[in-house]
Amino acid sequence: MDRLFVDTNIFLRYLTNDDPAKANRVEAVMRKTIDGEFRLMTNLMVVAELVWTLESYYGLSKQDIRDKLSILLNTPNLDVPEKQRILRSLAVYGEQNIDFIDAYNASFAKDRGIRVVLTYDKKHFDRIDWLQRREP
């Protein structure tokens, strides 16, 4: 089984179908991945770039991005380090209407048992019920 790293632009073609010929080729790779012919891997930085691009360039809503990426990340034979943390972060991002990076940082803190965040960002961190925000 081939192991392949997948970059952001491949997933963008697949999720947006903005270039149908490329999207079709990526769809074929995804089918082969599901069937076990390929084992794909990506990482947090690719997911963060996907979120940013889908939101800022393509104008998708946070809820739509959350839904699309949650489905994508649960593709069989797609390995993503920190997958559960990223999925939780996507849920917080979509439900609390905060930046993905802030949602990820809140999830990171939760996983480490940290309940206090030092930040001046009232807009986002005050929406996270498992964190107390403090300013220095």
Nearest CA to 66 out of 45, 88, 44 is that of: 88
Q: What is the pLDDT of residue 123?
A: 87
Give the number of other Cβ atoms within 10 Å of residue 69's Cβ: 23
The reported pTM is 0.93
Residue type, 19: D
The answer to whether residues 131 and 117 touch, using CB atoms and an 8 Å cutoff, is: yes
pLDDT at 1: 73
pLDDT digits (tens, 9 = 90+) for 90-128: 999 999 999 999 999 999 999 999 999 999 998 899 999
Q: Which residues contact 84 (CB under 8 A, 6 or more apart)?
A: none
pLDDT digits (tens, 9 = 90+) for 47-100: 999 999 999 999 999 999 999 999 999 999 999 999 999 999 999 999 999 999
